[in-house]
Homo-oligomer: A and B are copies of this chain.
């Protein structure tokens, strides 16, 4: 730690000093054996080499050790400290996960994210985006993604283009609405080093069904979150520790007929109502966000 006396970046020095202290405390606490150290080196190397344009095994590692969710929670807690008390009622954030794909198509309000042939039962999502005082936010951006009704993401299918992804903006009253599928539980990728780790830990690799959303509006702290379906499996043992009670929603089932937006459905469908609340951004110019 003393060797960093010439470091000119105080924050980097602070972070690395803490990292070195905890790293060495860990090594001493478990009295790590050389062959265990070597196994760790080989694991980390394999994790780096499993990464490519469409796969980020280190994010998956961070997710499955709860580190990603910890960083998300710390970030949101920091926002609360800056913007309290109004931010205290902001929608809870959760992990981004490895399947975000920048540049989803801009779609019209009310559109259907499902393409022909996509597996999954239809679900109509609607609600509003407001600030933490309840004022509607017009033109707020929702960037939405999910796996299909079998839990498979487009990125996991070689050669498949974007599917079940889209970006849309709230109307003048801060309202949003779109069709997608009712998501189902699925495993995180288990064919890489992280899968081996989970197995050795005696853990299952499953995530409860969820749909991802990034919600943002000018002057407000951007939100990355999920909605989970109430009563679904694995809500109490999400492999990436992403579940928050406030993000569990009801998927209300309907028989075939006319949906709330006037669309005729020939099959059963679900409706979901959820309102997102964004915290006003702090005016503090030193705010790192």
Task: Report if A74 contacts B (CB, 8 A).
Answer: yes
With both chains docked as a complex, state the minimum distance between the C-beta of A3 and any C-beta of chain B, in angstroms: 5
Q: How many copies does the complex hold?
A: 2
- Which residues of chain B have C-beta atoms less than 8 A from A74's C-beta? 27-28, 31-32
- A72 located at the interface, meaning its Cβ lies under 8 Å from any Cβ of chain B in the complex: yes
Alpha-carbon distance A16/B202, docked complex (angstroms): 12
B14 touches A19 (CB 8 A): no
A28's partner among B13, B16, B23, B70 (CB-CB below 8 A) is B70
The distance from the CB of A207 to the nearest CB of chain B, in whole angstroms, is 13
A66-B44 Cα distance, complex, nearest whole Å: 17
Q: Are A8 and B71 in contact (CB under 8 A)?
A: no
The verdict on A111 contacting chain B, using a C-beta distance below 8 Å, is: no
A245 within 8 A of B: no
- A156 within 8 A of partner (CB): no
Q: How far is the CA of A70 from the CA of B19 in the complex (A)?
A: 15
Interface residue? A253 (CB, 8 A): no
Query: A71's closest neighbor in chain B, by CB?
Result: B37
Q: Are B41 and A58 in contact (CB under 8 A)?
A: yes
CB distance from A6 to the nearest CB of B (A): 3
Is A78 interfacial (CB-CB < 8 Å)? yes
> For A8, what are the chain B residues with a Cβ–Cβ distance below 8 Å?
202
CB-based contact A200/B30 at 8 Å: no
Q: Which of B6, B62, B68 contacts A203 (CB 8 A)?
A: B6
Contacts of A59 in B (CB 8 A): 41
Q: Are B18 and A29 in contact (CB under 8 A)?
A: yes
A3 & B237 in contact (Cβ 8 Å cutoff): yes
Q: Are B62 and A41 in contact (CB under 8 A)?
A: yes
B6 touches A66 (CB 8 A): no
Q: Which residues from B are CB-within-8-Å of A24?
A: 66-67, 70
Q: Which of A47-55, A171-179, A225-233 forms contacts with chain B?
A: A47-55
